[in-house]
Amino acid sequence: MPSLSRSEMLRLARAGAEARVNQLREELESLYRSFPDLRRGRRPAANGAARAGRRTSSSGASAGGGRKTRGWTAAQRRAVAERMKRYWAARRAKK
């Protein structure tokens, strides 16, 4: 079997590298179709909790800045629950 010249080896290596890059691009596109938020570089936080490795301040803002989110107080949740109970009771009564 004849040995390949350096230029021939480089040409074949480049062709193999181009083929692998194309495979990786196709795989990335498949992943982006499945998980569109990856394309934007965002990761959804699980159940609204802060991401691992980040601390939250007492106001609910992440340590890295960004949007501040504040939860409802117990009184606010109770008030909404009562309103919704009245709302659904009225809808059931209309039927």
Residues 6+ apart with CB under 8 A from 32: 38, 39
Residue 70 has pLDDT above 70, yes or no: yes
Total domains, the chain: 1
Instruction: For the chain, give the number of residues.
Output: 95
- Residue 9 included in any domain: yes
Residue 18 has pLDDT above 90, yes or no: yes
As a whole number of angstroms, the distance between CA 11 and CA 90 comes to 77
- Residue 29 included in any domain: yes
Query: Containing domain of residue 9, as a range?
Result: 1-42
- Residue 7 included in any domain: yes
- Residue 50 included in any domain: no
**pTM (predicted TM-score):** 0.40
**Exposure on the CB side of residue 19, measured as CA atoms within 13 A:** 6
3-state helix, strand, coil in the chain (%, to 5): 60, 0, 40
- Residue 25 included in any domain: yes
- Residue 16 included in any domain: yes
- Residue 30 included in any domain: yes
